[in-house]
Amino acid sequence: MSRSLREVVFVDGVRTPFGKAGPKGMYAQTRADDLVVRCIRELMRRNPGLPPERVDEVAIAATTQIGDQGLTIGRTAALLAGLPTSVPGFAIDRMCAGAMTAVTTTASGIAFGAYDVAIAGGVEHMGHHPMGEGVDPNPRFVSEKIVDSSALVMGSTAENLHDRFPHLTKERADAFAVGSQDRYAAALAAGKIGPELVPVAVRSAEQGWGLATEDEPPRPGTTVEGLAGLKTPFRPHGHVTAGNAAGLNDGATGCLLAAEDVATELGLQIGMRLVGFGFAGVEPEVMGVGPVPSTLKALASTGLTIDDIGLFELNEAFAVQVLAFLDHFGIADDDPRVNMWGGAIAVGHPLASSGVRLMTQLSRQFAERPDVRYGLTAMCVGIGMGGTVIWENPAWEGEK
Amino acid sequence: MSEQFPDEVVTQALTRLVTLPGVDKPLALITLDNGHDHTRPSTFGPGGLASLEAALDQALAADVAGIAVTGKPFVFAVGADLSGVPRISSRDDALEIARQGHRVFARLRDVAVPTFAFVNGAALGGGLELALHAQHRTISGGAFVAFPEVFLGLVPGWGGTQLLPNLIGIDAAVSVIVENALSQNRMTSGPRAAKLGIADAVFEPADFLERSLEWAAGVLTGAVAVDRPPVDRSAWDDAIARARQVVAARTRNASPAAVRAVDLLELARDASFADGTAAEDDALADLIMTPELRASLYAFDLTQKRAKRPAGAPDKALARPVTKVGVVGAGLMASQLALLLLRKLQVPVVLTDVDQARVDRGVGWVHGELDKLAGKGRLSPDALNRLKGLVSGSLEKSAFADADLVIEAVFEELSVKKQVFAEVEAVVSAQCVLATNTSALSITEMAADLQHPERVVGMHFFNPVAVLPLLEVVRAGSTDDATLATAFAVGKQLGKSCVLVADAPAFVVNRLLTRFLGEVTAAVDAGTPVDVAERALDPLGLPMTPFELLSLVGPAVALHVAERMHEAFPDRFGVGTGLRRMVELGKTTVFSEPGVVDPELADAFTSTGTGPTAEELRASAERAMAEEISLMLDEGVVQAVEDVDLAMLLGAGWPFWLGGISPSLRRPGALA
């Protein structure tokens, strides 16, 4: 039996506005699975050429898979969204890279010929499910020194990165953070942020129904002076603050993937073409550096070099871990190719959902940048991993 | 007003300003929420109306593009808070209730900005009226709407009778306000409501509010045009005539509310909104002061509360699980019972009878009914297979060996029933409950010779078994609590409302109906013309005339019960000669054609002109029922008079405006 791989395309991506986690956040009384349902329904509405029964898989990531993020959320959200019972679904977890892994997993299935069309996404309601909820680490981790005790506290791993790369100072991290806020604010003002958002009806018993239409976390007008005085909760006189890290957030994302020939058959738009991907492990105590080896792997497998990449969407779990990536590849802290519409430090990082936010954003950037051929989405992952996905711009106009 | 509503669960109107894409100013989104979940739906009392008024003020002060109203999850609003109505003692206070609703709702109608109702869930009565005051409406595919007012003895008097016909046309308005209300308060689904024109757009529940807000934004920007067909004023006369026919047929004009509702709908053709709503104020004020409304609210309360928590029932925990049921007899009653037990308990049901042909007929009938349900889509193919596999027939009572409950529905003869129970006892466990569906025999005697008489209980169903919601659970002299608790638990699982009664002749419903019919047949025997007797009770608005009731019960059954009652209470219960003649001749009805007495019965139903008049007959029937109720209470047949009323409401279908029966007998003019 001979096989041929099929091209996989990213058709369209959406997300809910991101909220602040906690009792005052806009999603405090909204279920996590309802956030996913909104994304699935919006994808189906925006792509009316796709018959619902043609969806072959719904993969939804969540880091904490209990309560309103439990019960095999890919399947249950599909049913709640009104997809036919014939459409299967599953739940997937690679912590922060959950949605990214949902994409690479279903995309692999498409390339292999098992699926024609898939929905991939992620959700994290960190208000309902604080980081580390219900975890039970094996005592061998510590007794056999498999990992340092700091490895499970993400902020501490970021402090560890400052130790490893002393030239990545707190000042550089704060400056990067201010840049993220500024770029997000500019993109918002220019209408770049918004078209991908799915309004969510939010209810509060005290205030009644409202409608979430905008991201809640950004802090426009942030300055380096303002950030300098913030507390360093992970270490006395440390480097990592609430200002140069992503916050604790609620939100969901979803995207539509298809075999390129199927997308053409159904008249679906082609936002990006998948080139390749890589995941890699690093020491858990410095998990933030994970995107470096994962990117090297992805570049190696696709035959590209870092110079081929015209746009970067890097998840900003911590400013220092983005700086570590840029530093490794010799890219300036404020390179305009990197996170041109701001990043997670401004918009937020509802853990397992973020991978698809990066992709959706990249695909929208591709549409207005026909001069760019390749783009890269990458993120670090807890317990010491990185993930990288390389995409090609279908709007690329070729060498001039 | 609030002193009459000390227990009001106040529905708060919570306002939030919402930004809509493409709309410059915000939309004020008002959420109606009484702070409880959907099991306690939001209603409007004086406090709730005041909160809504304040919310509208707040919205207008905020310079908004529009105002929208929606509800808490699964509920829009279910109408006026009626809890204080029984305390209202003056017409002025009643009038104020009507006016306060009109005044607050009119605020939504009169504002200068576009208004919307997003009907996300149940919208009943005043809730639906509030929605009708908005300029635009969306409705959830999972919502349902109704005007239960006429069913309860009121009119939709917060604008409903004037707004609805002028929105969806008079014919559809007659259906919603009058016909549906008088058809066991039938509800209208969201998609159907949109089709009727009650809502402008229908959206699926999964993203109802988001889509509604998007639609509203479209209306505000002009991107969405709302198209409504013009209302046909020439349709009024025919529709009102139809409404009057419906009211006459269903209530015999005994419900003042139904008549007033039709009057108001008629008025809505030409009246200004101010005149129409002023007429609503008057109608509500009048109706709130009527004994019919007070009786109705009492009846409604009985069906909502006492029907769900039967008085005198033993601790539920004593009930034994029922995993298999035997039914003795395979006649129509037994087969109906088997079908009901099968569908609701979903356990094996075994029918037995004296010969194979009858058994086969009984099982065949059950299969046929299951096939009909499947044909109507009310049973899935899998459920059909499951239920057919659970029902079986046997000539041998040994098939009952592992049953937990055996119900007999054999010939109404004490010796036959004793024989049946003795045979069943020989094969079943010592805990198996033996139930009888007898309508008039002594259950205590039936159990007397058994080894375990404590396991015998009466479960008296009403024909048609699948429809009438009453089950009289009869405690015989020997019945123990576990047996009784099992009977109550099974009754509840069967979807019935149970009333505990003592083992007295004909229990409650049949005893009262027999006494009542006895008065009618005695009058005919005394020479009152059949047609006069037939119509004499019309002022009560009973669901059927006495002779229609006789046909439904069946003359043979009626005679059996009458004879048994005569035996027990010869002073009060006679046996009509006409009834006896009907049974002798095998007649099922008095009439050979509508209004014409069957010639073969003519000699038994001859008018001599010497019998009581219609008024005299009604008075004597009411007196007889009052006396019988009083005796039943003295004898301890029921716990309280409320049980008599509940039994008449649910077992005889007697109307809310009589409060079952006893409130109507206490009215001035009754028992004259």
Sign of CA dihedral B392, B398, B402, B408: positive
pLDDT on residue B451? 97
Whether A85 contacts chain B with CB within 8 A: no
Please name the helix (run of DSSP H) or strand (run of DSSP E) that holds residue B388, with its range, or none: helix B381-390
What gap in Å lies between CA B221 and CA B193, rounded to an integer? 26
The one catalytic residue in A39, A129, A162, A380 is A380
Whether A274 contacts chain B with CB within 8 A: no
Reported as a single tens digit per residue, the pLDDT across A215-271 is: 999 999 999 999 999 999 999 999 999 999 999 999 999 999 999 999 999 999 999
Domain boundaries, chain A: 8-129+246-392
Alpha helices in B330-380 (DSSP H): 332-345, 356-375
Single pTM value for the model = 0.94
What gap in Å lies between CA B358 and CA B355, rounded to an integer? 6
What gap in Å lies between CA B672 and CA B670, rounded to an integer? 5
pLDDT on residue A92? 98
Determine what percent of chain A is predicted with pLDDT higher than 70. Answer: 100
pLDDT on residue B603? 81
| CA dihedral of A130, A132, A136, A140, whole degrees rounded to 10 | -170
DSSP B136-196: EEEEETT-EEE--HHHHT---TTTHHHHTHHHH-HHHHHIIIIITTTTTS--EEHHHHHHH
CB pair distance less than 8 Å for B16 and A82: no
Please count the other Cβ atoms lying within 10 Å of the Cβ belonging to residue A184: 25
Nearest CA in chain B to A38: B207
CB pair distance less than 8 Å for A209 and B35: no
Domain boundaries, chain B: 2-289, 316-502, 509-636
Please name the helix (run of DSSP H) or strand (run of DSSP E) that holds residue B244, with its range, or none: helix B236-251
Q: What angle do CA B199, B201, B202 make, to 5 degrees?
A: 95
Q: Which residues of B touch A41 (CB under 8 A)?
A: 206-207
CB pair distance less than 8 Å for B70 and A206: no
What gap in Å lies between CA B633 and CA B434, rounded to an integer? 27
CB pair distance less than 8 Å for A201 and B213: yes
- Tell me what the mean pLDDT of segment A58-70 comes to: 98
Name every residue whose Cβ is closer than 8 Å to that of residue B285 and which is 6 or more positions away in sequence.
Answer: B91, B92, B94, B95, B98
pLDDT on residue B670? 60
Question: Distances from the Cα of A301 to the Cαs of A275, A304, A392, in angstroms?
Answer: 9, 8, 15
Which residue in A82, A209, A211 is closest to B206 by CB distance?
A82
Residue with tokens 């490893």: A164
pLDDT on residue A398? 87
Amino acid letter for position A358: L
Strand B201-203, strand B136-140: pairing: parallel
CA A371 to chain centre: 24
Asked whether the beta carbons of B367 and B442 are under 8 A apart, the reply is no
Asked whether the beta carbons of B94 and B288 are under 8 A apart, the reply is yes
What gap in Å lies between CA A194 and CA A212, rounded to an integer? 12
Q: What angle do CA B58, B62, B66 make, to 5 degrees?
A: 95
Asked whether the beta carbons of B29 and A209 are under 8 A apart, the reply is yes
Tell me whether residue A349 is one of the annotated catalytic residues. Answer: yes
For residue A4, give the 3-state DSSP assignment: coil
Task: State yes or no: pLDDT of A12 exceeds 90.
Answer: yes
Q: Which residues of B touch A203 (CB under 8 A)?
A: 31, 72-73
DSSP A27: T
CATH entry 3.20.20.100 includes domain A8-129+246-392: no
CB pair distance less than 8 Å for A199 and B210: yes
Taking only residues 296 to 355 of chain A, the set having a beta carbon closer than 8 angstroms to any beta carbon of chain B reads: none
Estimate the crossing angle of helix B509-525 against helix B555-568, to 10 degrees.
100
Asked whether the beta carbons of A260 and A6 are under 8 A apart, the reply is yes
Name every residue whose Cβ is closer than 8 Å to that of residue A150 and which is 6 or more positions away in sequence.
Answer: A156, A157, A159, A160, A285
Q: Which residues of B touch A211 (CB under 8 A)?
A: 18-20, 29, 209-210, 213
Among residues B266, B288, B264, B290, the alpha carbon closest in space to that of B278 is found at B264
pLDDT on residue B11? 97
Residue with tokens 């396991």: B455
CB pair distance less than 8 Å for B29 and A200: no
Q: Which residues of B touch A208 (CB under 8 A)?
A: 14-16, 29-31, 33
DSSP B319: P
The more confident residue out of B3 and A319 is A319
Inter-chain CB pairs, A–B, below 8 Å: 54
pLDDT on residue B672? 44
DSSP A44-69: HHH-TTS-GGG--EEEEE-SS-SGGG
CATH superfamily, region B316-502: NAD(P)-binding Rossmann-like Domain (3.40.50.720)
In SS3 terms, A150-198 reads as: HHHCHHHHHHHHHHHCCCCCHHHHHHHHHHHHHHHHHHHHCCCCCCCEC
Helix (H) and strand (E) counts in chain B: 27, 20
Task: State yes or no: pLDDT of A31 exceeds 60.
Answer: yes
For residue B563, give the 3-state DSSP assignment: helix
Q: Which residues of A touch B206 (CB under 8 A)?
A: 37, 41, 80-82
Whether A81 contacts chain B with CB within 8 A: yes
Tokens read off for B356: 């194979």
Chosen from B11, B14, B20 to mutate, greatest number of chain A CBs within 10 A: B14
CB pair distance less than 8 Å for B21 and A206: no
Reported as a single tens digit per residue, the pLDDT across B579-624 is: 899 999 999 898 888 878 888 888 877 777 788 999 999 999 999 9
Question: Cβ-count burial of A152 within 10 angstroms (0-12 exposed, 13-18 middle, 19+ buried)?
Answer: buried
Taking only residues 183 to 202 of chain A, the set having a beta carbon closer than 8 angstroms to any beta carbon of chain B reads: 198-201
pLDDT on residue A354? 98
Q: Which residues of A touch B205 (CB under 8 A)?
A: none
Sign of CA dihedral B291, B293, B296, B298: negative
Tell me whether residue A255 is one of the annotated catalytic residues. Answer: no
Q: Which residues of B touch A209 (CB under 8 A)?
A: 16, 29, 31, 70, 209
Taking only residues 201 to 240 of chain A, the set having a beta carbon closer than 8 angstroms to any beta carbon of chain B reads: 201, 203, 205-211, 213-214
Chosen from B30, B33, B207 to mutate, greatest number of chain A CBs within 10 A: B207
pLDDT on residue B436? 97
Question: Distances from the Cα of A56 to the Cαs of A78, A89, A383, in angstroms?
Answer: 11, 8, 31
Asked whether the beta carbons of B268 and B177 are under 8 A apart, the reply is no
Nearest CA in chain B to A214: B19
Q: What is the CATH number of domain B509-636?
A: 1.10.1040.50
Question: Cβ-count burial of A169 within 10 angstroms (0-12 exposed, 13-18 middle, 19+ buried)?
Answer: middle
Query: Which ipTM did the prediction report?
Result: 0.95
Amino acid letter for position B351: L
CB pair distance less than 8 Å for A209 and B209: yes
pLDDT on residue A2? 79
Alpha helices in B252-331 (DSSP H): 256-267, 273-288, 291-301
Please count the other Cβ atoms lying within 10 Å of the Cβ belonging to residue A84: 12
Residue with tokens 């004898």: B635
Using a CB–CB cut-off of 8 Å, the residues of B that contact A are: 14-16, 18-21, 29-31, 33, 35, 70, 72-73, 204, 206-207, 209-210, 213-214
CA-based end-to-end distance of chain A: 42
B148-172: burial string, b at 16+ Cβ within 10 Å, e else? bbbbbbbbbbbbbbbbbbbbbbbbb
Ranges of residues in chain B with a pLDDT under 50 are: 672
Q: In what order do the strands lie in the sheet with B12-18?
A: B12-18, B27-33, B66-71, B115-119, B136-140, B201-203
- Tell me what the mean pLDDT of segment A306-333 comes to: 98
What gap in Å lies between CA B5 and CA B49, rounded to an integer? 13
Reported as a single tens digit per residue, the pLDDT across B179-215 is: 999 998 999 999 999 999 999 999 999 999 999 999 9
CATH entry 3.90.226.10 includes domain B2-289: yes
Q: Which residues of B touch A197 (CB under 8 A)?
A: none
pLDDT on residue A283? 96
CB pair distance less than 8 Å for A201 and B206: no
